[in-house]
């Protein structure tokens, strides 16, 4: 005679497998989102570098307060 799980044991096993599969699927989705975000951040870095280069060509090596737009050259305020 073959041995067989009880209905409650089979349900517990199926629930555990289903939960594991569901979590693995969620992790896969998160990994896809992570991959997409990594590409987006690389694009944002390239955009930042482009803007930075443009501003350096215009103003030289300065410090810019990103809140106010105030430019400081060598730590000395350029506004009179």
Domain ranges (residues) in the chain: 9-77
Tokens in use for 1? 């005679």
Sheet of 76-77, strand order: 63-64, 71-73, 76-77
Predicted confidence (pLDDT) at residue 74 exceeds the cutoff of 80: no
How do residues 11-59 score in pLDDT, each as one tens digit? Answer: 999 999 999 999 999 999 999 999 999 999 999 999 999 999 999 999 9
pLDDT value at position 3?
Answer: 94
Tokens in use for 2? 């073959």
């Amino acid at each position: 005679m073959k041995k067989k799980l009880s209905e409650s044991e089979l349900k517990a096993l199926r629930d555990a497998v289903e939960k594991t599969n569901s979590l693995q699927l969620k992790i896969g989705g998160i990994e896809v989102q992570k991959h997409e975000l990594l590409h987006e951040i690389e694009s944002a870095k390239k955009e930042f570098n482009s803007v930075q280069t443009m501003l350096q060509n215009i103003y030289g090596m300065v410090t810019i307060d990103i809140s106010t737009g105030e430019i400081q050259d060598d730590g000395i305020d350029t506004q009179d």
